[in-house]
Amino acid sequence: MIDTLSHLPRPDADATELAKNFSDLAPPLNARQAALESARCLYCYDAPCINACPSDIDIPSFIGSISHDNVTGAAQTILSANILGGSCARVCPTEILCQQACVRNNEKECAPVLIGLLQRYAIDNAQFSEHPFKRSAATGKRIAVVGAGPAGLSCAHRLAMHGHEVVIFEAREKSGGLNEYGIAKYKLVDDFAQKEVDFLLQIGGIEIRHGQKLGDNLTLTELHQQFDSVFLGLGLAASKQLGLTDENAAGLMAATDYIRELRQTDDLSQLPVANRCIVLGAGNTAIDMAVQMAKLGARDVNLVYRRGLSDMGATGHEQHIAKDNQVRLLTWAQPEAVLLDDAGKVRGMRFAKTRMENGRLSTTGETFELAADAIFKAIGQAFDNNSLSDPLAAELKRAGERIWVDENLRTSIAGVYAGGDCTSLDQDLTVQAVQHGKLAAEAIHSTLSLKVEAA
């Protein structure tokens, strides 16, 4: 149970009804739909959709395989570039990546090819008799991967393909990272994140040790000494703070903490629900939190952002999902004070109205209040500096608060690589983290191979 919300009621709906509310957001294509949709692809020679895909999937090739009824071949093409292609097909913002780049995405064509749904169709319907990738001859090298999220899993799988032994150190009791703990429940249903992990591990040569947290019972110094290389896929484990008085009051918590609890519960009817709630933020996590609270039965859900709609990190598609679930998107307002009742519990928040003035965000002097039983912070994730507290880790060069890496995902310490959200590269997307892990694995393999040749 989430202690800070223990005073709130439970949903009015029963577990069965709530489960329906959290069913698949985008139902999969059937065979006929997939055939018709794949026939719309023009198989461009210099396909812009490939250039827009962070993981370099050969999109025309896999769609062509679907159109020729070779679904397993399509899945093989996808997975060779993105071993987590199933989850990425579900959570990737295709509307601003491959589908936005599609040549059919114009007024005359009406709509782009539904690449994300076709990718999901291929992965979900592939008939592999065994794992589609084989391990190369054993190299005798051992690599430590810290974090069993998308970046770490991708890195581990590619290293295992090259014949290396991999040990993944994961702090939580389950693997999957963001896919397991941080994505809205209606986007990844039927325990898909764990099924994908199980599939990935079939290649062999990968061991996962749970309950191993860097900066707690694990140090970078030890890993650097005991393994031939180290990959850090730490993610962003801490939540940013508002910097307001009473930020720790009952009824105020990080959205990621609630989403994690929601994704792990077997009975949604036992979750605390706020009839009136405020979500602070502008990204996909804020949307996920607001929509899920609405699906649990909240009657008044306000998502508040200090800038305008066009500045929101959440895509237009995500914003539409929020509106379809009766979430109000309130802009040009920033938190000023947490309002408490006589018992010290959240009763609302006061906001200062904002505007852009000479290119800078400023307050107008006007304020307003919103009543709420709970407030959820989704203002961004922060780096957990405790994870890099040992002497060697402290030497890592930073880019802001994140880990600096070069174009080959190498950190400032020889033999240590990093990828995903803990680095300052690119966007904080699952598909980008997968690509980082893959590229880091190739860089690690190349370096280790050169050392063998030199010896």
Per the domain annotation, does 90 fall within a domain?
yes
What is the pLDDT at residue 453?
A: 60
Of 97, 125, 153, the domain-final residue? 125
Per the domain annotation, does 398 fall within a domain?
yes
Indicate if 157 and 269 belong to the same structural domain: no
Residue 46 tokens read as: 């210099």
What is the pLDDT at residue 452?
A: 65
Indicate if 373 and 394 belong to the same structural domain: no
Indicate if 249 and 351 belong to the same structural domain: yes
CATH code of the domain containing 225: 3.50.50.60
What is the pLDDT at residue 67?
A: 96
pLDDT tens-digit readout, 414-444: 999 999 999 988 677 899 999 999 999 999 9
Q: Yes or no: say if 376 and 388 are a contact pair by the CB < 8 Å rule.
A: no
Of 380, 402, 420, the domain-final residue? 380
Residue 387 tokens read as: 């994870």
SS3 25: coil
Indicate if 244 and 371 belong to the same structural domain: yes
Indicate if 285 and 343 belong to the same structural domain: yes
Indicate if 395 and 363 belong to the same structural domain: no
Per the domain annotation, does 78 fall within a domain?
yes
Per the domain annotation, does 5 fall within a domain?
no
DSSP state of 85: H
Look up the pTM and report it. 0.95
What is the pLDDT at residue 280?
A: 98
What is the pLDDT at residue 233?
A: 96
Indicate if 247 and 349 belong to the same structural domain: yes
What is the pLDDT at residue 60?
A: 97
Structural domain count, the chain = 3
Indicate if 356 and 244 belong to the same structural domain: yes
Per the domain annotation, does 422 fall within a domain?
yes
Per the domain annotation, does 404 fall within a domain?
yes
What is the pLDDT at residue 424?
A: 83
Per the domain annotation, does 9 fall within a domain?
no
Indicate if 258 and 373 belong to the same structural domain: yes
Strands (E), 379-451: 381-382, 398-399, 402-403, 416-418
Indicate if 431 and 338 belong to the same structural domain: no
**Weakly modelled stretches of the chain, pLDDT under 50:** none
What is the pLDDT at residue 450?
A: 83
How distant is the alpha carbon of residue 332 from its chain centre? 27
Residue 162 tokens read as: 């090259």
In which region does residue 312 sit, left (phi positive, over 0), alpha (psi from -120 to 50) or beta (all else)?
beta
Indicate if 41 and 119 belong to the same structural domain: yes
Indicate if 320 and 207 belong to the same structural domain: no
User: Residue 418 belongs to what domain range?
Assistant: 142-237+383-454
CATH code of the domain containing 69: 1.10.1060.10
What is the pLDDT at residue 305?
A: 97
